[in-house]
A = this chain, B = another copy of it.
Amino acid sequence: MNLKELASLLNLSTTTVSRALNGYPEVNAETRERVVAAARRHGYAPNQGARRLATGRAHAIGHVIPLARHQMINPIFAEFISGAGETYSIAGYDMIASVVPEADEADAYRAMIAQRKVDGILVHTPRLLDPRIDLLSGFSLPFLMHGRDSRPERDYCWIDINNRRAFLRATDLLLDLGHRRIGFLNGMEHLNFAQRRRSGYCAALTARDIAPDPDLMRHAEMTEAYGYDGVREMLGLPDPPTAFLASSIITAFGALRAVSEAGLRLGADISIVTHDDELSHMSNAGPVPLFTATRSSIRAAGRRAAEMLIALIEQPGAATRSELWEADLTIGRSTGPRV
């Protein structure tokens, strides 16, 4: 069933039917009802390809997911996507996701734009000096970055959490509890967020005249095994840490496993603070959560990011402001004074 058929069925022109369905005012209320009813009855919906061609708008937003050699897909990504997807559905946008080898990433962005597949692009997990900013700035298509670059002079729109402050506060908390040797299980440090977290961690230490110890700082993909191995190895050091700071709750669970296995009691012998993205299958909720954590919902970030990007698309004039969210610091059962 297409527009023409529907129109002739109703003895109306395609113009009127199109207008009736798209809510234009110059069509009789009664006519509109007839049209809408008939469309529903016959399961008519406008062909998206034709609509795209006629309007020049794709009503879709692109996500490029680079797959590195190690083939990891961050569970955080799923959660963010699900938040963004909620907003897209409500606003009538499709999400198109392109999973490509890391090396083809730039081409994937270029193709999306050249083929006019999307009206905007959402960019994930920026690197330190992320080439995608300059790449995408070269086109006139709106894009929004989840996270930031390190160069404030670049002009683009982003949403991020205050990673530095969060990890500074987390480290401060542990220092206040008397901990002096704090193991840091960071994310991969070529990523911007990890660099900022490290900066917060180091700043808190140096503010108390503690030199950051390279032996206590690690960075890697934030897996469970990484948390386990990291803690296990650091606990084997001559002067082992009494507390750990984890960059992801998944890593924190791994850390906890190593702590338990070593026969140490969480919150008594060893303290752990983690960042908590509120992943739905790794909940750290409850009145007194398991982990003391800096917390910020990644799903909420996804929702908001999508809203901001859609605003960028639909009101090109209006200056959409970037947003910096503060993470909550919630005290759980995983921290206590140094013994």
**Contact indicator per residue, chain A 75-118, by CB within 8 Å of chain B (1) or not (0):** 10111011011101100001111111000100010110011110
Interface residues in A, total, Cβ within 8 A: 63
**Contact indicator per residue, chain A 238-269, by CB within 8 Å of chain B (1) or not (0):** 00000000000010010011001100000000
Chain B residue at minimum C-beta to C-beta distance from A253:
B253
**Contact indicator per residue, chain A 268-304, by CB within 8 Å of chain B (1) or not (0):** 0000000000011111000000000000000100000
Q: Report if A52 contacts B (CB, 8 A).
A: yes
Cβ-defined contact, A46 with B115, below 8 A: yes
Cβ-defined contact, A111 with B58, below 8 A: no
Interchain CB contact (< 8 A) of A114 among B44, B110, B222: B44
Chain B residue contacts of A89, Cβ below 8 A? 98-100, 104, 108
CA distance A260 to B224 in the complex (A): 16
CA distance A86 to B47 in the complex (A): 27
Chain B residue contacts of A117, Cβ below 8 A? 48, 94
Chain B residue at minimum C-beta to C-beta distance from A78:
B78
Q: Report if A37 contacts B (CB, 8 A).
A: no
CA distance A73 to B72 in the complex (A): 18
- Given A43-B114, A50-B53, A73-B81: 7 more A-B contacts, CB < 8 Å: A48-B49, A49-B49, A75-B75, A75-B281, A223-B280, A250-B282, A260-B261
Interface CB pairs A-B, < 8 A, 15: A43-B114, A48-B115, A48-B116, A49-B49, A53-B53, A65-B82, A73-B78, A73-B299, A75-B75, A75-B78, A75-B279, A81-B97, A81-B99, A86-B99, A253-B257
**A-B complex: 8 closest residue pairs judged by Cβ atoms:** A85-B99, A49-B52, A78-B78, A45-B114, A260-B260, A73-B82, A75-B75, A72-B280
